[in-house]
Amino acid sequence: MSDRDRVVEASERLADAIARRDVEAIGKLLAPGFVHRTPGGDSVDAAAFLAAIPQIPGEIEFVRLEALQVDLHGDGAFVTGIQHARVRIDGRHVDDRRAFVDWFVRVDGAWRLRAAAELPGADGA
């Protein structure tokens, strides 16, 4: 399996773990010093990021990655794409698509997420 394939696999495992709200699995995919940013918001560390996962409102039906692009740079990988999540809130389905930028690093031979940034909606809104 190529490094690109391993990074894609790690990205997809992360999306699946978020869909299942599996904080333990997510934590294993984060690199030391992990940071998450949102536009106009503060950066948060791994502990705050993991604490927010169970607080996601509604029932998560799925989290999928679309338009995934991977650029490898030695022991780092720059990943961009669209995260598509479907959540059921009060009987209503809500589709959320948002662009993201992730930076994966190789830690002890495994690709782990070091930095993540959410961007405005996939359409730029």
Structural domain boundaries of the chain?
A: 3-121
Q: How confident is the model at residue 41 (pLDDT cuts 50, 70, 90)?
A: confident
Per-residue pLDDT of 70-125, as tens digits, reads 999 999 999 999 999 999 999 999 999 999 999 999 999 999 999 999 887 555 44
For the chain, the maximum distance between any two Cα atoms, rounded to a whole number of angstroms, is 46
Global confidence as pTM: 0.91
Between residues 125 and 61, the one the model is more confident about: 61
pLDDT band at 55 (very low <50, low <70, confident <90, very high): very high
78 and 105 Cβ atoms separated by less than 8 Å: no
First to last CA, the chain: 37
What is 3-121's CATH topology?
Nuclear Transport Factor 2; Chain: A, (3.10.450)
